[in-house]
Amino acid sequence: MDFWTAVERVGIPMAILSVFAIAVWRVLMWIGREVVKPITASHIALVESTKVANEINSHTLQEVAAILKVKAEKLDSIEDLGDRILVLTTKSHQLLLSKSER
């Protein structure tokens, strides 16, 4: 069916509406192809890179926790050593005092 035949049959308003509908359809298809698909692709890439970053951060935090645990154990052993030194110093000081009193 020819365009002018359709215009004669349904009228000019319907022809204008048809042209407008086709234009809107083409605009929507362009938006989908040029805007929505790239946004979707970049969002998927962002989510994947965020997953990788979270895995790296998790691994780093586990390593830091292990290091802090070792440091805490060393600190506890240093504190224990300090407590033992304090006890020995106190005992030797008391022993010296008792010897000086004699």
Nearest alpha-carbon partner for 27 in 39, 16, 36, 38: 36
CA distance 38 to 30: 12
Residues 77 and 70 sit within 8 Å (Cβ to Cβ):
no
Domain residue spans of the chain: 3-101
- pLDDT for the residue 10: 80
Nearest alpha-carbon partner for 50 in 42, 38, 39: 42
Query: What pTM was estimated for this model as a whole?
Result: 0.48
Q: What is the pLDDT along the chain (102 residues), one digit of tens a residue?
A: 677 787 788 888 887 888 899 999 999 999 999 999 999 999 999 999 999 999 998 888 888 888 878 777 777 776 776 777 777 777 777 777 776 666
Q: Token match 């926790």: residue?
A: 65
- pLDDT for the residue 1: 61
Residues 15 and 6 sit within 8 Å (Cβ to Cβ):
yes
- pLDDT for the residue 42: 94
User: Alpha carbon of 84 to those of 73, 89, 91, 94: distances in Å?
Assistant: 16, 8, 10, 15
